[in-house]
Structure 1
Amino acid sequence: MKLDQLQYIIEVAKTKSLTMAANNLNVTQSAVSQSIASLESELGLPIFIRSRSGVEPTKEGVSIIQTALEVVTKLQEMKERVLRLSQIMQAELRVASIPGVMSSLVKTVSNFKNEYPDVSFRITEENSDNTLNAIRQNKVDLGLVGMRGDTAKGTGMLFEPIWEGRIVIGVWNNSPLAAKKKITPFELQKYSLALYDESYVHDFLHEFEANYGPLPILFTSNNPNAIATALKESLAATIGYDFSFFDSPYALNGSLVMLEIEDVEQVPIHLGWVRSDTSKSSQISNLFIQRFKQHFQVKR
């Protein structure tokens, strides 16, 4: 039994004519007739009978034709899925991320490329506000950002939270604070800070200063090496959400220590993925987001 034989009996059943079926399939009438005769011989059953009104299926033929239609339809669906998958797996995915979770992102990309080597990635490091703007301008497909609430709602973008974070203090292991597990707001005011240039960090500072007074800021930067140098040389501590330190090589090797802040009420912030709600890369984006979530949640 061959695929073309199934296609021939389906077309003959539809047109009720060997001639019309052959024309529609761009083959000769004899090819259609011989193919059907061969299939009938193989099955040991007649599929069609000829009458004055044309070619009609037999009782057995109706069942055979219906099965053939189901088989051909399934094969066509499979071909279409394989074609879509092939196109998806050769896509380019443009991803922007806040600096603090860049290590987690890079590890996910590496693992993803092992499974789907034909997918290409373009990664940029941006703060959350710049990432949202880049998505609006179609310069980025996916953004890994920090958000307070669902601030993407009604903006033409989708936001999928994956972690609810809290602000912590990061110090080097040679700092006098490293032996502590917690720090009070008034103790924190005694230390200079090197900060990420992130909107959620600035929001926390404004709220903190409104309740406790100003904090001494050494500098603000989105360069992790600059901030790490300030911590390592005991020039400053840093402030960030806990998820910013999870995959940091400094935190993993014990060089960077995280402290909780006592008695400070915090507005929760969510780490999550944002993208346009009309993203053309939605299938590959969904797949990549799932891989990141698996990595991130296992690491916790």
Structure 2
Amino acid sequence: MRIEQFLYITEIAKTGSIATAAERLYVSSPGISLAISSLEEELGIKIFERSRTGLEPTETGKNLIIKSQEILNCIEEFKHEAKGDSSDIEGHLSISAVPAICRSIIPKTSAELNAKFPGITLQIKESAFSQVRKDVLNGDADIGIVFNLPFFHKENQLLTSTHIIDSSIMLCFRKDSELANKDIPSVEDIYKHPIVASYLCEKDRKNFLSQVFREFNNLNILVHSQNSETKKYFISQGLAIGFEPDIIIKADPFYQREDFVVKPVKGIDLKISYYSIRLKSKFFSAAGKEFLKELQVQANNFK
């Protein structure tokens, strides 16, 4: 058996496809097929079976894939130990993150990391919550950054998570709104005003609003949008009010305008917690550790 065979079966387990694994590893599909057949013949077992959705590991195959990943992790650790000097840390990292983190903490994190470790290259993808999880689980992202509201909490045994920052939900409106005359607007005040709701999917929107407002069906939703930038145009014209995490408010110059007001809401104490996630089974490189370390430093600067 050969090291590349371990790499092939772990990649196929992530993608369910020999063709996709071949594309990711820059080898030919026939080459991978031959290597897997050879390994199965040598061990006298079947590692994969075909299903309607692609290749699925057999029960024996699942255990072998776990062992293969452990071997690959040990090889990566060996390479890291051989380098020794942390100033020479290099490598490529793929990051998948929800918009709030992409637009607030990650830009400064990337700049600082580049200054300290020019050998580390980043590929950053802004995605919806569910897509970030898929990217990490499929091996398309080394690190994912997600939010974890109470109704999204569902621990996945394949993932390990690290808390990054908590962000309060704030009410945003124009300075000439009657809400500006109130020290702290109440939930009852909000029912009187049109709302612009920008969420990445319908389920997210309903979950958030029903979590905050008891009388969800009585809300006056003027605009539904999957683009968080859309709300700015309606709020700036005084047509609606909206909600935003305070990390976005602190990072976006739009919310610093003199004609704009940002306040908490009486009766609402909702925080969004943001976490980094990664595969437990995958070797966590020195570059990844440095990225998360810098991400935490920049997150602390937002508090």
**1:85-96 equivalence runs, <5 A:** 86=88, 88-89=89-90, 91-96=91-96
Match of 1:117 in 2: 118
Question: 1:271 aligned to 2:274?
Answer: yes
Match of 1:169 in 2: 171
How much is the aligned-residue C-alpha RMSD, in angstroms? 3.1
Instruction: Tell me which structure has the larger Cα radius of gyration.
Output: 1
- Aligned mates of 1:147, 1:78 — CA distance in 2: 32
- Aligned mates of 1:77, 1:124 — CA distance in 2: 28
* Offset of residue 181 of structure 1: 4.2
Which residue, 154, 158, 161 being the options, matches 2:160? 158
> In the superposition, relative to structure 1, how do residues 129 and 181 fare at CA in structure 2: closer, same or farther (>3 Å)?
farther
- Aligned mates of 1:263, 1:81 — CA distance in 2: 55
Match of 1:143 in 2: 144
- Aligned mates of 1:160, 1:133 — CA distance in 2: 18
C-alpha contact 1:180 1:259 (8 A) present in aligned 2? no
Which letter does structure 1 place at the counterpart of 2:191? Answer: Q
> In the superposition, relative to structure 1, how do residues 116 and 234 fare at CA in structure 2: closer, same or farther (>3 Å)?
same
1:177 aligned counterpart, secondary structure = helix
* Offset of residue 157 of structure 1: 0.9
* Offset of residue 202 of structure 1: 3.5
Question: 1:98 aligned to 2:98?
Answer: yes
When structure 1 is superposed on structure 2, of 124-133 and 161-170 the one drifting more is 161-170
1:235 aligned counterpart, secondary structure = coil
C-alpha contact 1:201 1:239 (8 A) present in aligned 2? no
**1:55-74 equivalence runs, <5 A:** none
- TM-score w.r.t. the length of structure 2 is 0.63
C-alpha contact 1:147 1:269 (8 A) present in aligned 2? yes
* Offset of residue 136 of structure 1: 1.1
**1:1-300 equivalence runs, <5 A:** 80-82=82-84, 86=88, 88-89=89-90, 91-101=91-101, 102-148=103-149, 151=153, 153-178=155-180, 180-198=182-200, 201-211=205-215, 213-252=217-256, 256-264=260-268, 266=270, 268-300=271-303
* Offset of residue 275 of structure 1: 1.6
- Aligned mates of 1:169, 1:104 — CA distance in 2: 21
Runs of 5+ in structure 2 lacking a partner?
1-77
When structure 1 is superposed on structure 2, of 246-255 and 120-129 the one drifting more is 246-255
- Aligned mates of 2:282, 2:253 — CA distance in 1: 33
- Aligned mates of 1:246, 1:95 — CA distance in 2: 22
When structure 1 is superposed on structure 2, of 92-101 and 208-217 the one drifting more is 208-217
- Aligned mates of 1:78, 1:160 — CA distance in 2: 23
Match of 2:6 in 1: none
Which letter does structure 1 place at the counterpart of 2:113? Answer: F
Runs of 5+ in structure 1 lacking a partner?
1-75
* Residue-pair matches, total: 222
- TM-score w.r.t. the length of structure 1 is 0.63
> In the superposition, relative to structure 1, how do residues 263 and 83 fare at CA in structure 2: closer, same or farther (>3 Å)?
closer
C-alpha contact 2:247 2:302 (8 A) present in aligned 1? no
C-alpha contact 2:158 2:280 (8 A) present in aligned 1? yes
